[in-house]
A and B are shown apart, each in its own frame.
Chain A
Amino acid sequence: MKLVLNHISKSFQSAGETVALFHHFDFTCPSGSARLLTGPSGSGKTTLLRIIYGLEPPDEGEVLFDDVSLYHLPEAERRQFRRKTIGFADQDSSLLPQLTALENVQLSMLGEKDDYRAQALAWLTEFGLEKRSGFFPQQLSGGERQRVALARALLPNPKILLLDEPTSALDMERSDAFFKLIQQINHDHHITIILATHNQRAMDFFPDSVNLAPNGGVGKI
């Protein structure tokens, strides 16, 4: 699925002043490609991902998935569209403490008739976590939790995967392994991937990147 951001502007209030984060920002991500969003803290990586995910409407501009303008959809439809089309994993690898790894993966299909157990297990197996499927989040390592969160984002077979600082809590070795995994997913499943990180090593795996500078500066590397 192709993602296009058209003239996106976003600003926020801070200490009584309006700070512009983006101003008429354009961005295109072809179907099946993987793009890196880089930049220092406060440059707006997470905000941009939230705009793409449909959680934070831009002040101006539109977000297009193929020809679908996300923010022109009514709230309920947008939510449905998001659940079916976009996968999201954040920097905290937020897992529900009361659910096992497997159940946390299944959570993304909450309320469906089928329990998607086999598919969830397949993802965990693919990520090397089949033996940890019955473990609770607090029994897993940071990397394992991140992979579980990734599996949860992938279970609904999304067309686009958004990853927000997925390696922030991982060491270099585990970060590399994780980036390889993402690469693999992008390659095998042709999922469009947008990865926001300040981890410079990510560029070794995803050369096509956009560098977000603080206070709205945007540069392309």
Chain B
Amino acid sequence: MTFFHLFRRDLVFYRRPFAILAAMACLCCAIPTAALLIGDSVRGTLYDNLECQVASIQRLIRLPYPVKADTPDGVLHTKGFATPGIKIELYALQKDTEIRGNDAWANPALAKRLNLKDGDFFTVRTLTIPAIPSEELMGRPPELKQIRFRYRGIWHDARQNVNFENPQLNANNLFVNHDYLAQALGIEENAINEIWAQDEYELSDEMIWNLSRLSFSDWDGRPVLKSSAWFLPERIRGLFPNATGGITTFAESLSDGNHQIDYFFVSAFENDIFPIEKDFAVLSDNVSTVFPHGGKLSFFSMGAYRKLTHETVSLQHIRKVSDTHLGQALNPEAAGLTDVESCTDWDAGIPIDFDKVRQEDKDYWDKYKSKPKLYLNFQQAQQWFSPGKYTVLIFEKGSDVSDIRKKIIDELRHDTTLYRSDDIKTILANNIRNGVQFAPLFLGLSMFLIFSALLALSMMVKLHLFDRRKELAILSEYMDEIHRFLFMEIIAILLPGIIIGSIVGTVLCQLQLWMLERFWNGVILMEQLHFHWNMTSYLLGIGLSFLPILVIILHVLRHDSSKTVKFCFCESRKINMPIRLGALSFLRRLRHYRACIIILVLGFLGTLGVGAFGIKARGEDAFGWQFVMETILPFVPSTDHPFPDEVLPVRVFTNDSADCSNVLQASVPTVYGCDLSRLTHDGDFLKKSSAAVDTGSLYWIMKKRLGDSIAYPNGNITLSRTMKASVFQRGILVGDDTFQSLFPDVQGARFFLIKDKQTAEKFRQLLEPYGLSTWTVDEFMSEAERFQNHYLAIFLQLGVLGFLLGFFSLLLLMLRNLHAERKTIQFLLDMGLSQSELYRQYMAENMLLFMSGAVPSLILLVILSFFADLHVPTLLFGWLGLTAIGLLLISAMLSAKLKHNP
């Protein structure tokens, strides 16, 4: 007789208990393996998506506005939308010759969403890209454009699904003809604003010069540097300390009460160009009007969101002087203002009353165009119009223009604000790597289920040994190390269970991936999840289950499981009733039932605790504002229709989303900027260059702490305070001044908070053409909480699984007891005990067992509800429901078993 032979016999004889033990071991291994594999699969799919979306593009160069360039990798990109609110990325590949006219090719996601068929016509709404920033005086709000396209099919390029924002999401891409798009947007031919380079890429001098929007004009042999964006870039002035600066603005009027001139340019120059004393002004002698006693100069000042104010300054002395040596060359160019044939054709973004234009103004324009009529002291003019800014730099006669240009290009090449060049693949890969760790998350979520399975396993092993106690006593006579044999035997049973658990874990993972694709899609927003595996995950899954199992088996073997708890009712209470007999039986077996009770408690806690936690309490929301509106295209109001006080516009620099739908790390999160004193009614809510952030976003998605800084192209933002459940959870919140200094190119608002319903209704009509979505704050927060609730739903399901595991352990225990006591039952029946008395006895025992799990869990949950946001009615009704179901099932099972197989 060999040990192996004995083992083989045991295997056959104890096949049922062994199968249960192996199943428990299988469960212990399957759960962590599945959790780890889900992590592998989500991350692997993200990497797959990254490969597909970024394709072969290594370096992405983003320009703030389209510039003329000639590069094989040039792309003109703008955002648009098709009704109903489908955001579209419009791409025009500069060197593509395949797409003609209004033909458009979509990626599969867009074609599916718009249900497009070959030859279908459809319209995309987008915005023009103004040359001068929209919120500057000479700028103009972007215009809405409706571009009509004819769908031709799915774009066949490998870059069809290009998406530089988030590999988690499918972009809706439309590939169109470059000239057609440029024309529709009012951009010059060959202009591009993105470069998709497959290798390292350096912008050419020509492109940097075009990007700078600088140009030279000649003023009497002296080069004049001007910008088509009106003001010169601030860092340019320091490069040429010897050059003479100048500033020009458009004035509304000059009046002394009796005489008035309207709409003209005012200039001021440093040094000797046209030296003027403080408080003095010089009027061109080409103007016939005189102001012998000085006058008041009224000019426009443009604030945020094109809020126009009229400013008036007093000029003490205005004398007439010949300005023949000055000319239009000293003025910058503003489209629609300085370049029109007649001054009655002005099409500036500022309100001009053409009735005020007189014949002599027209004559002046015909002769001198935009040559200034009034000249001021430079320091005063700069202070009044735009402190620290210049519109022209005038160089010495004979200065070499190419030298100046080279110096500027060298300076701007390193200007991170001029263009953004990213190793996009590496950035996104890092965000994936540092994103949500699904493996530990799912492992953590399922930890108490694993713990329950381990407890169930320990209980089953104990009962198994208890049932074999007589046999083990015989064996111990012939075996020196009975425990070693038992240990080896149990391990030999559990090991295959663990190995099968790895396979079951794989199947479970596939099932959960399927569930994530179909039902829990709100968690990860990915339409397809590919199965990915890592050997480490399998080994870790095996290790995570095998080690605790090993400890449990050793613990059980070291403790004699045949001991029973001695418990007696006091003598005065006779054990003459079946219920008392059942209770006594329960108390005597309490030692064996311990694990089952703990599993039940865990199951109750998991199910009810999470369920009650899911009913969320409110946070800071929108600081008392009632409605949230969001547009796909940014909205800049015109000067005659500024935002009402009931509307709080919020600027958005879109980057990594920091809400809990993002499974990647939001290393450089989206930034929201608004007037914080209006938002919070707290003047000291945030300091300059600091931000507030939602707690959840901060720790989970951004993986940062308070005090950390985030680097943006124009400077850093320090995270200085937290919010709870706010409408800004997709990013960080900063003040208007911080936003404008860091993101000067982000013009207009895309996010709006509204005070009341009437304003929301009125404002909706205005914003509708910009791709509007409107929510009440409650709806908006519910949408945001949807993601969190999806996670909670998974947690809840794991809780229910834990409860089921505990409950089925109890049923298993009950059936095992009935089987083990079949002789006793027969004896009791022979003694004259009725079926109903027998039922009552066993019901009492099992009900006590179930309630000993249910009651402590209720007490624990009620205590927990004082510390956590638990919804007490859900908790109580849930508890009652689960208890009723549990007792009903026990009762049904027991009566069926006792009736058919006593």
Contacts and interface: CB of A to CB of B under 8 A. Distances in A.
Interface of A: 76, 79, 83, 88, 94-99, 103, 106-112, 115-116
A79 B482 CA distance: 13
Nearest to A90: B474
B1 A106 contact: yes
Contacts of B5: 103, 115
Contacts of A110: 1-3, 6, 475, 478-479
Nearest to B472: A96
A111 B470 contact: no
Contact of B471 (A88, A96, A106): A96
A146 to B, nearest CB: 14
A96 B468 CA distance: 10
A94 B470 contact: yes
Nearest to B478: A110
Contact of A98 (B13, B470, B473, B480): B13
Nearest to B8: A98
26 contacts: A76-B480, A79-B480, A83-B478, A88-B477, A94-B470, A94-B471, A94-B473, A94-B474, A96-B475, A98-B12, A98-B13, A98-B14, A98-B471, A99-B9, A103-B5, A103-B9, A106-B1, A107-B6, A108-B478, A110-B3, A110-B475, A110-B479, A111-B2, A111-B478, A112-B1, A116-B1
Contacts of A115: 1-2, 5
Given A83-B478, A95-B474, A111-B1, 8 more contacts: A79-B480, A99-B6, A103-B9, A106-B1, A107-B1, A110-B475, A115-B2, A115-B5
A16 to B, nearest CB: 15
Contacts, number: 53
A98 B2 contact: no
B13 A111 contact: no
A83 B6 CA distance: 18
Given A94-B470, A96-B471, A111 B12 contact: no
A109 B13 contact: no
A111 B6 CA distance: 10
A107 B12 CA distance: 17
Q: Which 9 A-B pairs have the closest CB atoms?
A: A98-B13, A106-B1, A110-B478, A98-B9, A94-B474, A110-B1, A96-B471, A99-B9, A107-B1
A108 B476 CA distance: 11
B202 interface: no
Nearest to B1: A106
A199 to B, nearest CB: 23
B339 interface: no
B379 to A, nearest CB: 106
A76 B480 CA distance: 8
Nearest to A83: B478
A97 B479 CA distance: 17
Interface in B1-60: 1-3, 5-6, 9-10, 12-14
Contacts of A107: 1, 6, 474-475, 478
A2 B477 CA distance: 23
| Residue from the set A88, A110, A115, A116 with the largest chain B CB neighbour count within 10 Å | A110
Contact of A103 (B1, B473, B477): B1
Contacts of A97: 13, 471
Interface in B122-176: none
| Residue from the set B1, B12, B475, B477 with the largest chain A CB neighbour count within 10 Å | B1
Contacts of B9: 96, 98-99, 103
B3 A111 contact: yes
A109 B1 contact: yes
Contacts of B12: 98
A76 B457 CA distance: 33
Contacts of B6: 99, 107, 110
Nearest to A149: B474
A90 B5 CA distance: 24
Contacts of B2: 110-111, 115
B551 to A, nearest CB: 27
B21 to A, nearest CB: 16
Contacts of A112: 1
| Residue from the set B9, B12, B14, B473 with the largest chain A CB neighbour count within 10 Å | B9
B478 A96 contact: no
Contacts of A111: 1-3, 478-479
Nearest to B473: A94
A115 B6 CA distance: 12
Nearest to B11: A98
A45 B478 CA distance: 23
A9 B125 CA distance: 107
B465 to A, nearest CB: 15
A98 B1 contact: no
B484 to A, nearest CB: 11
Interface string B434-477: 00000000000000000000000000000000000011011101
A96 B474 contact: yes
Interface string B838-851: 00000000000000
Given A110-B3, A111-B3, A116-B1, A98 B10 contact: yes
B486 to A, nearest CB: 14
Contacts of B474: 94-96, 107
Nearest to B12: A98
A99 B8 CA distance: 10
Nearest to A111: B3
A88 B474 CA distance: 11
B685 to A, nearest CB: 76
Contacts of A103: 1, 5, 9
Interface string B357-377: 000000000000000000000
Contacts of A79: 480
A83 B480 CA distance: 10
B768 to A, nearest CB: 80
A106 B474 CA distance: 13
A96 to B, nearest CB: 5
Contacts of B1: 103, 106-107, 109-112, 115-116
A96 B478 CA distance: 12
Contacts of B475: 96, 107, 110
| Residue from the set B10, B12, B473, B478 with the largest chain A CB neighbour count within 10 Å | B478
A116 B477 CA distance: 18
A109 B478 CA distance: 7
Contacts of A83: 477-478
A176 B138 CA distance: 126
A95 B3 CA distance: 16
Nearest to B471: A96
Interface in B698-743: none
A88 B13 CA distance: 25
Nearest to B481: A111
Contacts of B10: 98
A98 B13 CA distance: 5
Nearest to B480: A79
B12 to A, nearest CB: 7
B491 to A, nearest CB: 19
Nearest to A75: B480
Nearest to A98: B13
Nearest to A153: B477
B189 to A, nearest CB: 90
A111 to B, nearest CB: 6
| Residue from the set A79, A106, A111 with the largest chain B CB neighbour count within 10 Å | A111
Contacts of B477: 83, 88
A94 B469 CA distance: 12
Contacts of B3: 110-111
A97 B13 CA distance: 8
Interface in B200-226: none
A107 to B, nearest CB: 6
Nearest to B470: A94
Contacts of A98: 9-10, 12-14, 471
Contacts of A106: 1
Contacts of A108: 478
A110 B477 CA distance: 10
Interface string B227-263: 0000000000000000000000000000000000000
